[in-house]
């Protein structure tokens, strides 16, 4: 018996069959390009590079002209599958069992890409061609990786090509439990750094000839762990600090290490900016450091600030479409991690809405085929209302 698939499911399966683990394109962008070109889109495939990072293929597709200029954004790269033997179904098969499609990237986020592709094609067919305005796709292969040769540079490239966007939806999996739960209208910022404490290496039996850096680091980390940055506000949850690794690089049991390092990440709300948070951390560490302790703190390049989208027309139009299709009025959230929306917000108002994200990055990652088709309906209804208004 031949399996009958909706357009969104067919596109999603074709994308899943491409093992596009970052930074490999693996045919995913080529698949998308072929689908879009056949429907009249003009497609570009810029490749960006930078020393010390892998080259990354990206895709920009556009149809129509003028304003309003609406853009769907997403990524076709995926995280590694882990232990293939642990999967119930091949991770690059897109196999459907009991209404669920299995495969790496189904939720994060080839399902979202498939849904907004199918929605745009359906919209064009229903309306007999392009809208009075422009629809574009901004697709990267570097969201799950360093995020250096992807959306950041693709946005710069698009601007150089004189594309000016009016609004954007990122198709990330935003719903925690059911389709229609949540629209992301902002994100907390992210600041990563490393603390280093230096001592003097020596034999553990002759500790008076050495200087163990570990106790001093423990005091610094204990202070940071007890630190309350803020209580949050009506827009964002509280900022939180997390120590993510501690290392002395010591493989011996009889040596006091010469130094110790600790890495951390802070997800912060709009009470802080990157400079004010960095300054605060330096002050806290300086006050906590024991007298004579040799320490330093450095911050990772490319921190991201928090942001909040205030475009009520974009938010309300999408919320209405979600409610029409699912019967649920979505909550507006700023929770969760970072996404490429942190780059897009510098160019136009942006929100995120996609599938249920329970299984993203997990073994047996999967999505509901019904949800995929409903997401397509939501995007299509949104396009109808966005361009008609």
Q: Which of 33, 57, 108, 143 is catalytic?
A: 143
Which tokens hold the place of 108? 């994060």
Nearest to 330 by CA among 205, 184, 224: 184
DSSP 162-181: T---SEEEE----BSSSTTS
User: Are 121 and 384 within 8 A, CB to CB?
Assistant: no
218-238 in b/e form (b: 16+ CB < 10 A) is eebbeebeeeebeeeeeebbe
Confirm whether 33 is a catalytic residue.
no
CA–CA separation, 317 and 330 (whole Å): 12
Q: Which of 77, 305, 340, 371 is catalytic?
A: 77
SS3 content of the chain, % helix, strand, coil (to 5): 35, 25, 40
The DSSP 8-state label assigned to residue 59 in this structure reads E
Dihedral-angle region of residue 64 (phi above 0 means left; psi in -120 to 50 means alpha; beta otherwise): left
C-alpha to C-alpha distances, 367 to 95, 107, 207, 258, 379, nearest whole angstrom: 11, 6, 58, 50, 17
Which tokens hold the place of 270? 């709009």
Which tokens hold the place of 284? 């806290």
Confirm whether 156 is a catalytic residue.
no
CA–CA separation, 234 and 269 (whole Å): 11
DSSP 345-359: TTTS-EEE--SB-TT
Q: Quick one: 298 exposed, middle or buried, by C-beta within 10 A (0-12, 13-18, 19+)?
A: exposed
DSSP H or E run through 72: strand 69-75
From the DSSP assignment, how many helices (H) and strands (E) are in the chain?
9, 21
Nearest to 15 by CA among 106, 97, 79: 106
CA–CA separation, 57 and 139 (whole Å): 9
Cross-strand pairs, 100: 97, 368
CA–CA separation, 123 and 381 (whole Å): 9
Give the active site residues.
Answer: 77, 143
């Amino acid at each position: 018996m031949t399996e009958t698939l909706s357009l969104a499911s067919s596109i999603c399966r074709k994308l899943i069959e491409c093992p596009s683990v970052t930074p490999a394109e693996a045919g995913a962008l080529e698949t998308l390009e072929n689908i879009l070109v056949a429907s009249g889109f003009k497609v570009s495939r810029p490749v960006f590079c930078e020393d010390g990072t892998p080259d990354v293929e990206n895709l920009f597709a556009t149809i129509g002209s003028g304003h309003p200029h609406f853009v769907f954004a997403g990524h076709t790269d995926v995280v590694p599958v882990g232990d293939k033997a642990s999967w119930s179904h091949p991770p690059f098969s897109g196999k459907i069992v009991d209404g669920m499609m299995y495969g790496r990237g189904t939720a994060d986020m080839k399902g979202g890409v498939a849904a907004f592709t199918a929605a745009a094609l359906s919209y064009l067919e229903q309306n007999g061609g392009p809208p009075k305005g422009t629809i574009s796709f901004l697709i990267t292969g570097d969201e799950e990786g360093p995020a250096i040769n992807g959306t950041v540079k693709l946005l710069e490239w698009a601007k150089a090509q004189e594309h000016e966007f009016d609004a954007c939806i990122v198709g990330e999996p935003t719903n925690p439990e059911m389709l229609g739960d949540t629209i992301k209208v902002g994100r907390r910022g992210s600041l990563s750094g490393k603390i280093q404490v230096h001592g003097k290496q020596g034999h553990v039996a002759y500790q008076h000839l050495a200087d163990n850096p570990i106790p001093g680091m423990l005091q610094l980390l204990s202070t940071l762990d007890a630190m309350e940055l803020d209580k949050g506000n009506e827009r964002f949850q509280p900022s939180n600090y997390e120590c993510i690794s501690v290392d002395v690089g010591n493989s011996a049991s009889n040596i006091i290490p010469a130094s110790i390092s600790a890495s951390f990440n802070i997800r912060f709300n709009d009470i802080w900016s990157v400079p004010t948070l960095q300054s605060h951390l330096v002050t806290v560490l300086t006050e906590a450091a024991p007298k004579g302790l040799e320490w330093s703190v450095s911050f990772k390049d490319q921190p991201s600030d928090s942001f909040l989208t205030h475009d009520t027309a974009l938010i309300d139009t999408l919320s209405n479409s979600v409610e029409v299709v699912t019967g649920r009025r979505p909550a507006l959230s700023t929770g969760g991690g970072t996404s490429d929306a942190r780059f897009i917000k510098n160019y136009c108002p942006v929100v995120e809405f996609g599938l249920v994200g329970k299984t993203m990055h997990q073994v047996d990652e999967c999505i509901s085929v019904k949800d995929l088709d409903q997401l397509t309906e939501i995007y299509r209804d949104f396009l109808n209302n966005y361009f008609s208004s």
